[in-house]
Structure 1
Amino acid sequence: MTEQASNAENQNPQFSLQRIYVRDLSFEAPKSPEIFRQEWAPNVSLDLNTRQKQLDGDFHEVVLTLSVTVKNGDETAFIAEVQQAGIFLIKGLDAASMSHTLGAFCPNILFPYARETLDSLVVRGSFPALMLSPVNFDALYAQELARLQAAGEAQA
């Protein structure tokens, strides 16, 4: 019976967050200090990207990159980027579930950390707080799957 319990434990899906960390951080304010003397009417552009790689065994690194460019009129006020990363222990999932976990679930965990880091960085640059809206990573993942399927059908 102990052997059956051990086998059941090995087959049950497991997910565990091991570590969250900043992999890379960048801030540039090319028009400082002149930009601080202008009327503030920002235009915010956000780029979001994720990538993952398998580490040893069942450990995976997922990196969420948020890149923000803020312009005031025609001038770039600042450019800020954070690569928020996490190490996750994931095992016992089928390929589709693993793909969804790495592509949507893990980035969803990392986003609040990345958003807070980016906001703190912008405020330290003496700009108003940057309050990014929540992101639906499940919807983004579904869109990417649909895009890949459409590209596959177009190639076939």
Structure 2
Amino acid sequence: MTDTPETGATEAQQPLQISQRVLAQYVRDMSFENIMAQKGVSGEVQPEIQVGVNLDAKKRGTDDEQYEVITKLNITSKTKDKGDPLFILELEYAGVFKIEGVPAPQLHAYLLIECPRITFPFVRRIVSDVTRDGGFPPLNLETIDFVALYRNEIARRAQAQAEANGKADA
């Protein structure tokens, strides 16, 4: 078989093979405050739950292919009628990933979308167990749309940058 220009072009157009391995997962930080048990709440309690999600990713050490991706949750539960706090759960869950074959311009999005998708079931389990062990019904988090979360953060940063440029021009 001889190499022809067509063969070389076909091989060059093949997408890169992406390889991803989870090297480690761990709880970086966690706090659970059962305010209801400390202060007491009277009457029937209808909880209102708010979940805040934040993501962070950084290169790990000197290995160009290892990244630490942290999912940060801030969950508050209050009574619907009076707004009395029931509990506060703060969780930082990290995953260490070895990622190969992702083009540099797409790496940021990959780290903040694909990596949290992999660790999310573990985060969900921890939240469920901690709330149950804290004396509440287990909180089963809804699936988080990491693509929408990423797009919202990019839009927020672009707006903040535009506002900063507007103030600099004034």
Q: Shorter-chain-normalised TM-score: which range?
A: 0.7 to 0.9
Q: Aligned residue for 2:154?
A: 145
CA contact (8 A) 1:81 1:118 kept: no
Structure 2 distance, partners of 1:150, 1:25, is 32
Residues 27-106 of structure 1 mapped to structure 2, 5 A cutoff: 27-32=32-37, 35=40, 37-56=42-61, 57=63, 58-72=65-79, 73-106=82-115
CA contact (8 A) 1:65 1:81 kept: yes
AA paired with 2:103? Answer: D
Return 5+ residue gaps in structure 2 as ranges.
Answer: 1-15
Among residues 23, 28, 32, which one is paired with 1:23 in the alignment? 28
Among residues 127, 137, 153, which one is paired with 2:136 in the alignment? 127
Among residues 123, 126, 131, which one is paired with 1:117 in the alignment? 126
Structure 2 distance, partners of 1:133, 1:35, is 28
Structure 2 distance, partners of 1:150, 1:126, is 42
Identity of matched residues, %: 31
Note the C-alpha offset of 1:153: 4.3
CA contact (8 A) 1:44 1:69 kept: yes
CA contact (8 A) 2:52 2:74 kept: yes
Q: Aligned residue for 2:10?
A: none
Q: Aligned residue for 1:3?
A: none
CA offsets per residue over residues 17-60 of structure 1, 9 Å max, x none? 11111111111012316546531200111111111111121211
AA paired with 1:66? Answer: L
CA contact (8 A) 2:127 2:140 kept: no
Structure 2 distance, partners of 1:147, 1:12, is 32
CA offsets per residue over residues 94-115 of structure 1, 9 Å max, x none? 2222111111111111211111
Question: Do the aligned partners of residues 74 and 148 (structure 1) sit closer, same or farther apart at CA in structure 2, a change above 3 Å counting?
Answer: closer
Question: Do the aligned partners of residues 12 and 96 (structure 1) sit closer, same or farther apart at CA in structure 2, a change above 3 Å counting?
Answer: same
Bigger-Rg structure (1/2) = 2
Structure 1 distance, partners of 2:151, 2:54, is 15
Query: What SS is found at the alignment partner of 2:107?
Result: helix
Structure 1 distance, partners of 2:56, 2:154, is 15
Structure 2 distance, partners of 1:83, 1:148, is 22
Structure 2 distance, partners of 1:146, 1:96, is 17
Kindly tell me the number of residue pairs found equivalent between the two proteins: 147
CA offsets per residue over residues 81-138 of structure 1, 9 Å max, x none? 2211100001332222211111111111121111110110000011112121111101
